[in-house]
Amino acid sequence: MARKLFVLNGSNLNMLGLRQPELYGSATLDDVRSDCERVAGELGFELFFAQSNAEHEIVEWVHDAFRQQAIVVINPAGFSFRSVPLLDALRMLARPVVEVHITNIHARDAVYQHSLISSVARVVIAGAGVYGYELGIRAADRLAPEGGE
């Protein structure tokens, strides 16, 4: 049975490559998906990759990850800073949670510097650009090499 990996993306990440390329770069979410598929395949993960601007949809995907005992790599984007429902959903997970941010949130405006999600993440990667997703998947693999902890 393949290990399950959910890579979840929050608000506005569907606009990667178009929205503020000076801050987020020129890679699109499809580019990120391709990179994630490559790395997940290399490491033997069955990948679920999704993005939503709707908080409730991401919460539902976290519930699915819980049911499937999946590892979660998440870029919660704007949901990082205010989403208690997402935080509560992620708290349920027994498998590692890895939080990814394309920018270094700690060097940004104060509103972006404190992620609620970091309190449940085993690893936080910020500022590595879209390469952070690959780092996140590799970290998740190291944290749960057999799919468990």
> 102 among the known binding-site residues?
yes
Q: Is 101 a catalytic residue?
A: yes
Which has the closest alpha carbon to 51: 88, 21, 12, 78? 12
Q: Which amino acid is at 73?
A: V
Which has the closest alpha carbon to 66: 41, 37, 86? 86
> 28 among the known binding-site residues?
no
Alpha-helix runs per DSSP H in the chain: 21-24, 29-43, 55-67, 84-91, 131-143
Dist. CA 138–CA 132, nearest whole Å: 10
Among 101, 112, 131, 133, the active-site one is 101
Q: What residues form the annotated binding site?
A: 75, 88, 102-103
Catalytic residues: 24, 101
Q: What residues form the annotated binding site for substrate?
A: 75, 88, 102-103
